[in-house]
Amino acid sequence: MSKENPFGQVLVALITPFTSEGEVDWADVEKHIDSVISSGADGIVVTGTTGETSTLTDPEKIKLVEVAKSVSAGRAKIITGGGSNETAHAIELYKASEKAGADGVMIVTPYYNKPTQAGVLTHFRMIADATDLPVIMYDIPGRTGIPITYETILRAAKHPNILAVKDAKGDFSEVSRVLNQTDLLYFSGDDSNALPHMSIGASGLIGVTANIAPAPYRVMVDAVNAGDLATATAAHQALEPLVRAAMTHVPGTVAAKYILHGLGRISSPRVRLPLVGPEDAEAARIEDELALVSGIEGLDLSNFRPDRNAAAGGALPKIAGATR
């Protein structure tokens, strides 16, 4: 690959810790960012899906960039995620994020509007024109309703600022095809596929489970870089039940907050409506999966104390998120 990687390799799709009332808990934000960087993350994606971007206000999004930049103190790249399904609003957000100190932007395919591929390409190009920051295109048709097609990815790759794709489609043959045809960097956007993606040439991952355990992802990435498949596979296998706990029963941010709160690493597991905490049966399944986790560096589950009552329901914050 001729392009240098300006984003890092172990990127955490950061949760946004809230108080029990649903307001951003800025002390917890700082503590959590410092914790994941100290455990091996070299990139932080704030205000992405896992950060509950759709229910954050614009000022909260910008402040998250500022706080992350300050806490990281150069130890990790700060990428701003989310964006908007309105191109003009997305441009405003990314320009403000650049001023706030972001090192890169992750642009999600416009959701709900269902634009044609020409509209998708225009959205990416206009945002990439509006900022000097390197761009990751985020391809997640399960959330946006539309994919970024192979042809669109190839055309977008010609833009000098569009350097990467976060892939949550899981079409490995297409990943290989794009890696052959372009010099785009690829990031796995599916925690269970991080190693398979990297084994065919992806640069790293943007992971939810890395909120809970960044260290084994660091081991995996370093092993891949060194050509040590056995060590990378061992990390992948150790992570498997934790990934299942975090990613299969409720939305990733809900499970991650439930687990982090049970470990005493955030003060509240609260999410903002329409997300709600796990119901009893869902919480029980998460806890059953966690009982299978062992041998993960930096993760001691002997002190796991889940609190289903604290997680129940969802919060209505005082100020509605910016949805124009």
Active-site amino acid positions: 138, 166
Q: Rounded to an integer, what distance in angstroms lies between the CA atom of residue 182 and that of residue 185?
A: 9
Q: Rounded to an integer, what distance in angstroms lies between the CA atom of residue 313 and that of residue 285?
A: 18
Residue 198 burial (CB count, 10 A): 23
Q: Cα–chain-centroid distance for residue 223?
A: 22
Q: Rounded to an integer, what distance in angstroms lies between the CA atom of residue 164 and that of residue 234?
A: 27
Q: Cα–chain-centroid distance for residue 314?
A: 21
107: amino acid identity, one letter: I
Q: Render 18-69 in DSSP notation, one character per residue.
A: B-TTSSB-HHHHHHHHHHHHHTT--EEEESSTTTTGGGS-HHHHHHHHHHHH
